[in-house]
Amino acid sequence: MEIIKQEDSTFTVLKLQGRVDSFNSPLLSDSFDTIHREKKYKILLDLSEVDFINSTALGLLIEVMKRNNENSGTLALINCSEKVNKILQITKLDKIFSVFNDIESAKRSLGL
């Protein structure tokens, strides 16, 4: 998995590439920890190039979403690949996460 970080004055975008699983979830967790240490809690997670995500990674995303919400922030999923969308629908997590087709619709809806 590769993580590309882009920052704006009001939010951070993390673009993930490849598989997001138990093996590399600690790397993703470290990225979130770094962002949180900077007191940034508005994160857009670009999943357009993710071809697999497992329950460990989904659990991490739920934890991050809760932490962000507690700090008046958000964790939104954007550009989800077809495979990720299917997993979110099967697990009903598409009802829990804010999911957007693109960054512009996420920014508009979230007021970023």
Instruction: Quick: pLDDT tens for 8-60.
Output: 889 999 999 999 999 999 999 999 999 999 999 999 999 999 999 999 999 99
**CA atoms of 67 and 52, how far apart (whole Å):** 24
- Global pTM exceeds 0.85: yes
Task: Say which CATH class 2-107 falls into.
Answer: alpha beta
**66-98 residue pLDDT tens:** 999 999 999 999 999 999 999 999 999 999 999
- Contact indicator for 27, 58 with CB cutoff of 8 Å: no
Of the candidates 90, 76, 13, 19, the residue with the CA atom closest to the CA atom of residue 49: 19
